[in-house]
């Protein structure tokens, strides 16, 4: 918050992204990725993903994604809207820890090759995935290789990119442009910022006129410094990575605490900041009665516990204790 | 063809649909359905379905269809494009002879009810279906009942509507507006016309400004009589129904002739003008070598044999004989 | 800013607009307008106007606006994009103090009535206008009367609505729904907020499913309280009106100070927070050299001096003194 | 008509444009223009222009056209719809015989250069123009030069291209690709065909995936031979040019016959197949009472008399005689 108040106090800056705060944060992101990428800011993740995908495809193209991808399940058709009709083609299968595979992507590409069906043009990866798992650098390279061979572009939904980098311990460039990613949507809000996601074009040719697209889409902040200034604070001293590491650690702690609780079954490997577990229906209900808030999403039983940059150890311990206590009650009943 | 040449000869008519030919064919369709519907003509089935669906939904809505529906599989994202992003939600399952059920429709509606996913607004039925089966009047009424209860509109893709009516032997109104259908796309090209499909709004309120939509979409013929005149010929003396009956009969003949051929398995009931059969790979190849043209579409083995209004008995007999002969060869090999 | 920090501190609220802050601010706006309107928040003015207009029109409709309207000149085709192609029809003439007249609106409606041109469906008013003038309640009523008679809807771009109300001294309801306005885009950012505009539907039927539209358009803040909380502060104790009054007063002060400066000509009546003046080219250049920032927009000479809620008397006096001094130098030269 | 009937008779061809008729007509057009262009067929002029412009621009771009261009005035926002919002910027002025000039184009480009307004990306020329005049080869080259220098693409609306070529007497390639035109919409319907326009991409890179665009837009004829076969007949023995020459001759005849009639004033040079004349209101009314049909479009008095490929000398003479007779009556009254 400190940076935001400072920006507010610094007088009437030139608006619409030409201010010095925005220049500094763009330069910061270029340094972070160690490449001369093009950087744009939009208000949220739906806009970031939708505008990026629209810049990679036309209305008669298709975008290959995992069936659990946020672009498919939680953006209310935003990608279809901004691209004026591009179709999302989902690769099925919740195996492989919620990650696409080169084979799955190629199978979708091969389904059709006639003009009566949209032509595949983009593959989108979610890093970390919606089920809290993380693509390795090699996994991304393998998918990019298929994409390049078949003339598709590679988009990365990085709403939780920070958590993935924290897990992998690699350079941010290694898991993006050096692995063949054309465009990254780099999440700010899931990392502590009030609003604002960065759209990072490593393939600069694809960024042509993107500023116009942002403006037309109602995603250009007139008081841009309110978005860029907090980003500066986040980049400074690797705060983004520290935040992400903390959230990941809290997820590890939670997973460790509940892994051996009878009746609890962890559904996916805990590789980022979320724990996905099946709990008895009684436990779910009772946890909610105690005030815990979480999504249940894959049929009955699947609970999503997300840890944030500011989740405290005590909170995790209390949640784990509640799960343990309520599960014991459920076992008796 | 006769009517087309006559229209051409009749001098410079007022263009763009205000001509007498168009008035006559619209009136003819109103008589046919026995209701004061609104009628528009467009060039082909993709346009008819896409514009009709766009008039029933907004970009943030969804359209429920069968997973084999033409709008999903063969219109290159036309419905998504014309609606500016509406999402098609497919009801799975190829059981029930390729037809939607009230339960399947309701299950899709119930999947989600939050604003992070497009809101169901339309259910679309294909009559006859893509696999050559036909909804009964009661089946359509049951689906319409779900739709009305859940505030959805009902669209019917009637590219092969004539074949369905021929099969059902009912009044065209019984299987459309009296059964709850709001809009019908009534196929002309599959029934012998060079170009042109009719969009028939039984729910007249939904047709508001539809003429503007047609014009903007590049679907208004400047020489409208070239589309409407052939329709007149088709409506005259129930030619459309006679054509359809003939095509259906040919499909029945083909089915009867190959049903008991060893190695041949008919996949769906033959209720309209198509026969869907699994044949040995050798037979498929050999048939094509002999010049037969047909689609194979559901994995290996599924062949689609469509009969047209002008398919001859001899042709069907020859095809059946070839299938029988080649299947015998396949059995020996 | 106080409210924003408080919201940040109040723990993990339910996100996406279901939080108590958002409920409070919506209720506040209903109280303010003294009617049960529907209220939505989006990130900026382009989004507010574009989404509102899209909800009032289809792609084959047209929107009548003043040729200087922000939707026409400064939103990079946002209204066209979100409506999927609706055409803006501009009423010409910079006379009448930059305001539409009933006659001008009706003349645009009457230009065409065939389906080869988009059908007028909306009239949009900017209150206060782009040239710092204000529609009276009667002027708005007269335009609404034309709109209702011709079956058009009425949209108000209220980026500077607060300044207009401060000038008119009327109840906010008098100049909106009681005068026939269907939808108001109520500006927050021009009134001191970091991000966020309210879309206020007085005609509630037109708001159907608008929440889905907002979500799909990437305009739903996941941390909604960061938008709604500052609004609360603005509504409290009529801060919005006090801010606007101050800005208006500063514009009056500036106009008064420079009105009689030789070489300076005030172009439009100063009725809101902007002063539009023609200055000698030398003065414009010299002002900029001294660090003053302002737009020049209508050909050579027209300068726009906008006063904000936090513009200080000293600043205005200094600007006026500089204009006076430099104009004197210009006169000598 | 002969070719159409022949195509109908030739049995069940492979549909959707892969038939031999379509191959022949595409090759014919390549020969005609003496270059390896990409050729597509759509149903009408609105579709041809709109899809071509959509392939040249994105939603945040603008298209520069003459204020009388058909794309601006008579396609119901088709270009805006298919491009998902691109803005048409009109170059004003009905001087210069209804033709754009390099200066007018450049002036529109220079109006704005910020991201708050759509970026000019295309210039579109109508050849022959809406007022019956014709661009010379040098005029087109000069506009193309501006376009190339400013990074715009050049589109030609050639609904009456044949008439222009007939007037210029040049090779069709000279006035298109050799003069810098990227895409031509080559009119068929205005030249005698029932339906169908050709979209000819001289810049083949811009045609990438255009077949998908045509299919998605509902512009792919399933019975493609009904469109392509008549084109063959039109290309054969330069029928298209002979038709156009005849129509032009009829316009010249009409102009010659009425030029000196008192009270009649010819408004634009008669260079193609249309005569634009101001007539007394009495004459207009009386002509219509006698059954003549024509548009009046530029305020009171401007009448458009279009001659077609099949307009007869007698008809022209009778029209001229009526104008002469009625004008004499008007002079007396």
Q: What is the DSSP string of C224-239?
A: THHHHHHHHHHHGGGH
Whose tokens are 């941390």? That residue is: C223
Q: Are strands A183-186 and A153-158 parallel, antiparallel or unpaired?
A: parallel
Q: What are phi and psi of D17, to 5 degrees?
A: 85, 0
Task: Assess contact for B3 and B230: CB atoms under 8 A.
Answer: yes
Of B157 and B192, the structure prediction assigns the larger pLDDT to B157
Same domain, D50 and D132: yes
Q: Which residues of B touch D8 (CB under 8 A)?
A: 1, 194
Number of structural domains found in chain A: 2
Size of interface B-C (CB pairs under 8 A): 48
- What percent of chain D has a predicted confidence (pLDDT) above 90? 78
Report the pLDDT value the prediction gives residue A163, as an integer from 0 to 100. Answer: 97
- What percent of chain D has a predicted confidence (pLDDT) above 70? 92
Q: Which residues of D touch A152 (CB under 8 A)?
A: none
The residue among A238, A260, A279 that closes a domain is A238
**Closest chain B CA to residue C59:** B213
Inter-chain touch C84–B59, beta carbons under 8 Å = yes
Report the pLDDT value the prediction gives residue B224, as an integer from 0 to 100. Answer: 83
Same domain, A225 and A262: no
Report the pLDDT value the prediction gives residue D10, as an integer from 0 to 100. Answer: 44
Same domain, D225 and D126: yes
User: What 3-state class would DSSP assign to D121?
Assistant: strand
Inter-chain touch A43–C43, beta carbons under 8 Å = yes
User: Does residue D166 surpass a pLDDT of 60?
Assistant: yes
Handedness of CA D212, D216, D220, D223 (dihedral sign): positive
For chain B, the average pLDDT equals 91
d(CA C118, CA B90): 34
Which residues in chain C land under pLDDT 70?
1-18, 93-94, 298-301, 333
Handedness of CA B66, B67, B70, B71 (dihedral sign): positive
User: Does residue D69 surpass a pLDDT of 50?
Assistant: yes
Q: Which residues of C touch A211 (CB under 8 A)?
A: none
Token pair, residue D267, equals: 């408004």
- Residue pLDDT, tens place only, C244-263: 999 999 999 999 999 999 99
Token pair, residue D178, equals: 């050799």
Please tell me if residue A107 touches chain B, with a CB cutoff of 8 Å. no
Report the pLDDT value the prediction gives residue C11, as an integer from 0 to 100. Answer: 45
Task: Assess contact for A227 and A21: CB atoms under 8 A.
Answer: no
Report the pLDDT value the prediction gives residue C317, as an integer from 0 to 100. Answer: 95
ipTM: 0.93
Report the pLDDT value the prediction gives residue C299, as an integer from 0 to 100. Answer: 54
User: Does residue B141 surpass a pLDDT of 50?
Assistant: yes
- CATH number of the domain residue D292 falls in: 3.90.1150.10
Longest Cα separation, chain B: 66
Query: How many CA within 13 A on the CB side of residue A163?
Result: 35
Q: pLDDT category, D314, cuts 50, 70, 90? A: very high
Q: How far is CA A162 from CA A96, A166, A235, C90, D30, in A?
A: 22, 6, 11, 48, 54
Inter-chain touch B84–A81, beta carbons under 8 Å = yes
- What percent of chain B has a predicted confidence (pLDDT) above 70? 92
Token pair, residue D163, equals: 């008439």
Report the pLDDT value the prediction gives residue A2, as an integer from 0 to 100. Answer: 53
Q: What is the model's pTM? A: 0.94
User: Does residue B6 surpass a pLDDT of 60?
Assistant: no
Report the pLDDT value the prediction gives residue B13, as an integer from 0 to 100. Answer: 46
**Closest chain B CA to residue C55:** B58
The residue among D209, D237, D265 that closes a domain is D237
Instruction: Give the residue from D240, D232, D258, D271 showing the smallest Cα distance to D327.
Output: D258
Please tell me if residue B151 touches chain C, with a CB cutoff of 8 Å. no
Beta bridge partners of B185: B157, B199
Query: How many CA within 13 A on the CB side of residue A251?
Result: 30
Which residues in chain A land under pLDDT 50?
1, 4-5, 7-13
Same domain, C128 and C276: no
Query: How many CA within 13 A on the CB side of residue C226?
Result: 23
Token pair, residue B144, equals: 């319409």
Token pair, residue A148, equals: 């390049």
Question: How many angstroms from the chain centroid is the CA of residue C24?
Answer: 24
Same domain, B136 and B268: no
Same domain, A95 and A162: yes
Q: Which residues of D touch B78 (CB under 8 A)?
A: 215-218
Same domain, B102 and B185: yes
Report the pLDDT value the prediction gives residue D300, as an integer from 0 to 100. Answer: 54
Task: Assess contact for C129 and C158: CB atoms under 8 A.
Answer: no
- CATH number of the domain residue D173 falls in: 3.40.640.10
Q: Which residues of D touch A211 (CB under 8 A)?
A: 115
Report the pLDDT value the prediction gives residue B7, as an integer from 0 to 100. Answer: 46
Q: pLDDT category, B14, cuts 50, 70, 90? A: low
Of D31 and C298, the structure prediction assigns the larger pLDDT to D31
**Touching A: which chains, 3+ CB pairs < 8 A?**
B, C, D
**Angle, nearest 10°, between helix axes B161-168 and B239-258?**
80
User: What 3-state class would DSSP assign to B159?
Assistant: coil
Same domain, D26 and D112: yes
Report the pLDDT value the prediction gives residue C227, as an integer from 0 to 100. Answer: 84
Best A216, A218, A219, A222 member to test D by mutation, with max D CBs in 10 Å, is A216
Residue A125 DSSP label: E
Q: pLDDT category, D18, cuts 50, 70, 90? A: low
Report the pLDDT value the prediction gives residue A13, as an integer from 0 to 100. Answer: 46
- Which of A84, A115, A209 has its CB closest to that of D60? A209
Q: Which residues of A touch C75 (CB under 8 A)?
A: 215-216, 218
**Angle, nearest 10°, between helix axes C313-332 and C239-258?**
20
User: What 3-state class would DSSP assign to D186?
Assistant: strand
d(CA C266, CA C246): 20
User: Does residue B10 surpass a pLDDT of 70?
Assistant: no
The residue among A222, A238, A254 that closes a domain is A238
Of A84 and D221, the structure prediction assigns the larger pLDDT to A84
Q: pLDDT category, B19, cuts 50, 70, 90? A: confident
Task: Assess contact for C26 and C229: CB atoms under 8 A.
Answer: no
Q: Which of B204-213, C92-101, D121-130, D285-294 has the lowest mean pLDDT?
A: C92-101
Same domain, C186 and C322: no
Q: What are phi and psi of D277, to 5 degrees?
A: -140, 145
Q: Which residues of A touch D212 (CB under 8 A)?
A: 60-61, 115, 118-119
Same domain, B212 and B290: no
DSSP C66-102: ETT-HHHHSSTTHHHHHTTSPEEEEEP-STGGG---H
Of D11 and B129, the structure prediction assigns the larger pLDDT to B129
Whose tokens are 């084109």? That residue is: D231
Same domain, C187 and C290: no
Can you give the residue range of the structural domain that contains B263?
Answer: 243-332
Please tell me if residue D306 touches chain B, with a CB cutoff of 8 Å. no
Same domain, D158 and D218: yes
Please tell me if residue D295 touches chain C, with a CB cutoff of 8 Å. no
**Closest chain C CA to residue D79:** C85
Best B61, B77, B88, B299 member to test A by mutation, with max A CBs in 10 Å, is B77
């Amino acid at each position: 918050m400190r940076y935001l108040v400072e920006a507010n106090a610094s007088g009437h800056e030139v608006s619409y992204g030409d201010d010095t705060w925005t220049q500094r944060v763009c330069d910061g992101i270029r340094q972070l990725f160690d490449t001369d990428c093009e950087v744009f800011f939009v208000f949220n993740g739906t806009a970031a993903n939708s505008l990026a995908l629209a810049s990679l495809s036309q209305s008669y193209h298709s975008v290959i994604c995992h069936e659990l991808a946020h672009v498919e399940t939680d953006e209310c058709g935003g990608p279809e809207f901004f691209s004026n009709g591009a179709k999302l083609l989902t690769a099925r299968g919740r195996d492989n820890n919620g990650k696409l595979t080169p084979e799955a992507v190629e199978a979708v590409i091969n389904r059709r090759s006639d003009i009566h069906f949209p032509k595949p043009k983009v593959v989108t990866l979610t890093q970390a995935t919606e089920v809290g798992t993380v693509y390795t650098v090699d996994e991304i390279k393998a998918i990019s290789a298929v994409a390049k061979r078949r003339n598709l572009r590679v988009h990365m939904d990085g709403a939780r990119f920070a958590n993935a980098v924290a897990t992998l311990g690699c350079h941010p460039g290694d898991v993006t442009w050096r692995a063949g990613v054309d465009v990254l949507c780099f999440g700010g809000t899931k990392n502590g910022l009030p609003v604002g996601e960065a759209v990072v074009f490593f393939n600069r040719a694809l960024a042509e006129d993107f500023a116009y697209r942002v403006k037309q889409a109602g995603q250009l902040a007139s008081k841009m410094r309110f978005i860029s200034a907090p980003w500066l604070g986040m980049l400074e001293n690797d705060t983004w990575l520290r935040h992400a590491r903390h959230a990941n650690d809290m997820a590890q702690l939670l997973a460790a605490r509940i892994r051996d609780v009878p009746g609890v079954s962890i559904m996916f490997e805990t590789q980022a900041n979320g724990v996905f577990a099946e709990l008895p229906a009684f436990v779910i209900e009772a946890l909610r009665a105690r005030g815990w808030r979480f999504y249940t999403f894959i049929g009955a039983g699947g609970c999503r516990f997300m840890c944030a940059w500011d989740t405290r150890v005590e909170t995790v311990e209390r949640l784990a204790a509640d799960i343990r206590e309520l599960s014991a009650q459920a076992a008796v009943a």
